[in-house]
Homo-oligomer: A and B are copies of this chain.
Amino acid sequence: MESFVKDLVKKAKKNSYLLSTLNAEIKKDILFKMADFILQEKEFIIQQNLLDVKECERKGAKRSFIDRLTLNEKRLKEMSLSLREIAHLPDPVNQVVKGWQTSNGLSIYKVKVPIGVILIVYEARPNVTSDCVGLCFKSSNIAILKGGSEALNSNKAISQVLKKAAFSRGIDFEPFFFIETTSHEVVDLLLKESEYIDLVIPRGGESLIRKVVELSRIPVIKHYKGVCHIFVDEFADWEKALKICINAKVQRPSVCNAVETILIHRKIAPKFLPQLEEEFGKYGVVIKADEKALSFLKSASPAKEEDWVTEYLDLTVSIKVVENIDEAIEHINLYGSHHTDSIITQDVSNSRKFVEAVDSACCFVNISTRFSDGYQFGLGAEIGISTDKLHARGPMGIEELTTYKYVVYGEGQLRQ
């Protein structure tokens, strides 16, 4: 296994140098081919996916798990469309971010370049395979993909089809690597290869991500979870506030940018909370509330300390009454996950204070936390969301898959 991993990462690094010389037009053309091939080979992919689905059904996997795993014509069309959209994005490589000339005549260019080799460790959804291949290829990075064992046949089939597409356009090296072994050891070994792998992106549940961070000697970009807040200020527009709270909780509760805790200014709590409870009641949302909030709510149960750090991923919400905006900010910075937090207010000073003092990747004013998303921001496809502060923060688009180098031209200058 060790020599397999060493060979793999060396090949990946070598191919990353080859990939970095492909020009933007050729990459675009290959991405269109990949999009075409996904549709042309749909029967093969669906047939291979069926092997995985049947095996999971046999093992008695959860309905929701099998749903995420299953590929059908509609999903393949989405995957193909996503590759097309990636193809159309502006090429992120070789952009000059900044350039200047120094007083002694050095011309300095700060140029965007690929990161190199990116290891992506992910769980069941097979569309991650084509999305990640698309994003890494567009940004001239070699992806090493390690998917969940439950989707092995599906991922293998997708990988084969995407490689065939690349080879059909004259690429004579592997444009990405898919790891077919289901051994866990292979991931442990890969995470030590800091000389050849430049970045690790784990995509999946918190336990997977914690394991990767624990073992990795390579920089990791990740978010553990999204404990997102809405603070309804005393100067909130109530109509906006109610709609935003509902949208942020119920529109898709299972995702990381759904709201988990709502903070209410004490001045509006007595009248606002009963209205909020009524609205949540229509969607069957379960409320956990602190002592002060409980006194204005009929059906809520008491929140425990652990509720403030819990990502429910479900139709459950925690509610707390705060003295003022300062307490709201303090609560968010202490208990939150630094992902996305929104203030609802018509007061411009409070909105400024909130966005400056809240230490989160995304600080919103008067919108649903659900907008924390690469597509919604207009970044194009998204490889993930980062709650880290280094390199990339918030929704990560294709630009975040680049680094830079300094290119400096001179005429024989010497250091004094």
Contacts and interface: CB of A to CB of B under 8 A. Distances in A.
Interface of A: 17, 20-21, 100, 102-103, 106, 108, 115-116, 198-199, 213-214, 217, 219, 221, 237, 239-240, 243-244, 247-248, 251-252, 333, 351, 355-357, 359-368, 370-372, 376-378, 388-391, 393-395, 403-415
A240 B391 contact: no
Nearest to A213: B217
B412 A244 contact: yes
B415 A251 contact: yes
A116 B244 CA distance: 30
A243 B360 CA distance: 51
Which residue of A198, A370, A405 has the most chain B CB atoms within 10 A of its CB atom? A405
7 closest cross-chain pairs (CB), A and B: A367-B410, A240-B412, A370-B415, A391-B391, A247-B414, A389-B403, A390-B391
A248 B408 CA distance: 15
B388 A219 contact: yes
Contact of A116 (B199, B359, B410): B359
Contacts of A359: 17, 116
A264 B103 CA distance: 30
A252 B102 CA distance: 22
A198 B390 CA distance: 8
A248 to B, nearest CB: 8
Contact of A394 (B100, B378, B406, B411): B406
A356 B22 CA distance: 11
9 contacts: A116-B389, A221-B390, A244-B412, A361-B406, A362-B405, A363-B406, A365-B410, A367-B414, A390-B403
A388 B197 CA distance: 11
A390 B394 CA distance: 15
Contacts of A362: 405-406, 408
A362 B406 CA distance: 5
Contact of A407 (B240, B355, B403, B406): B355
Given A393-B404, A406-B361, A412 B21 contact: no
Given A102-B376, A366-B409, A368-B413, 17 more contacts: A21-B356, A103-B378, A108-B378, A116-B359, A199-B389, A239-B412, A240-B411, A244-B412, A247-B414, A355-B405, A361-B406, A363-B405, A364-B410, A365-B408, A372-B406, A389-B403, A394-B406
Contacts of A106: 367, 371, 376-377
A367 B412 contact: yes
Nearest to A369: B415
A251 B414 CA distance: 9
Contacts of A408: 362-365, 367, 371, 377
Nearest to A373: B415
A199 B390 CA distance: 8
B199 A412 contact: no
A65 to B, nearest CB: 25
A391 B407 CA distance: 18
Nearest to A237: B412
Contacts of A360: 405
A414 to B, nearest CB: 4
Contact of A371 (B115, B363, B415): B415
Contacts of A371: 106, 408, 410, 413, 415
Contact of A219 (B198, B219, B366, B407): B219
Contacts of A333: 17
A414 B366 contact: no
A364 B412 CA distance: 11
A390 B113 CA distance: 12
A21 to B, nearest CB: 7
Nearest to A246: B414
A47 B329 CA distance: 46
Contacts of A239: 412
A20 B351 CA distance: 17
